[in-house]
Amino acid sequence: MGDAVTPTNTRFSGQIAVVTGGASGIGSAVARRLASHGAIVAMFDRDEAQLQATRDALSDEGLSVGATRVDITSEESVVAGIDAVLAEHGRLDIMVNCAGVVGPTNTKILEYDSAQFDQVCNVNLRGSFLMTKHAIKPMVQQDYGRILLYASIAGKEGNPGMCGYSTSKSAVLGLVKAIGKEYAETGVTVNGIAPAVIRTPMVEAADPAMVTYMTDRIPMKRTGSLDEAADMTAFIVSRECSFCTGAIFDLSGGRATY
C-alpha cells in the first residue's frame, strides 16, 4: 500500500469516518487514505484477526484508526458498531461501505447454489442497506454527512457466470439512487461507485478465467489500483463533492457505457 504516511493533509480534519471491509483490499486502502487526510477512522470487518493486523500497521504509520468486529449482515452488530463510534466521538461524518463478497464465479445459473446466492445478496445488498440505514440517522441530525456504497460495473452490465454478484451489485445501484433522493434536501449525500476489476484479495481468489474476461473488456487493458479507488473515494466523500447525490461514479478504465 505504499510508504508510511503521516496525516499532514487536513482535508478531513475533525471528521469521523466508518469504513467497512477495512481488514484488507479497498477497505483498508480507503481507511488509510481518509486517515492520512486527517480523519479519525473506525474500520469495521468480521475478520477480526486481519482487522487488528491492519489497524496495527496503520497505527504504526501515525494514523488515527480503530478496529471493531462488525458483521454487516447483522442489524444488531451494525447498530452496536455505529453506537460505539457515536459514544466515543459524538458524531459520524463519513460512511464508506466497501465490504462485499464475490460468491461463485464462472458458474451458470443452473449450477449456482441457491444458498450461495442468498449469502452473496445478504452481504452485498443487505449489508449496504443496514450500514446506510444506521449511519444516516446521526448525519441527518447534524445536517451533514457523506455515504458511499461500493457497487460494481457488474451491477451495470452483468457478468456471465456471476449472477449472484451481478444481481446484488445492481440492487446496490438502486439503493443509492433511492436513498440519495430521499435525503437530497439535507446536508447528507448518498452516492455509489462502480469499479471494474481492482486488484484486491477478493479478485485474486476469483476464477482466473473470469478475471481475464473482465480485464479484457476494459479499454485500458489493465486492472485498477487500490490507490485509484482510494483517490476517487476521497473526492466523493469530501466537502467539495456537494452537488452530487444518488449518483454512480464509474471507475472502469473506459468499460462503462452508461
Q: What is the CATH number of the domain that holds 129?
A: 3.40.50.720
User: Does residue 4 fall inside a structural domain?
Assistant: no
User: Does residue 64 fall inside a structural domain?
Assistant: yes
Please confirm, yes or no, whether 150 is among the known catalytic residues: no
User: Does residue 193 fall inside a structural domain?
Assistant: yes
The confidence score (pLDDT) of residue 1 equals 42
Residue among 165, 183, 213, 258 flagged as catalytic? 165
As averages over each run of 10 residues, the pLDDT of the chain (258 residues) reads 55 97 96 97 97 96 96 98 98 97 94 98 98 98 98 93 97 98 98 90 72 84 92 97 97 83
CA angle 61/97/176 to nearest 5° reads: 145
- Which residue type is seen at 116? Q
User: Does residue 256 fall inside a structural domain?
Assistant: no
Q: What is the DSSP string of 161-204?
A: TBHHHHHHHHHHHHHHHHHHHHTTTTTEEEEEEEES-B--HHHH
- Counted domains in the chain: 1
The confidence score (pLDDT) of residue 134 equals 98
User: Does residue 210 fall inside a structural domain?
Assistant: yes
User: What pTM value is reported for the model?
Assistant: 0.93
> How far, in Å, CA of 85 to CA of 8, rounded?
24
User: Does residue 2 fall inside a structural domain?
Assistant: no
**Element (H or E) spanning 149, and its range?**
strand 145-150
User: Does residue 97 fall inside a structural domain?
Assistant: yes
Domain that holds residue 193: 16-244
Contact of 96 with 42, CB cutoff 8 Å: no
User: Does residue 121 fall inside a structural domain?
Assistant: yes
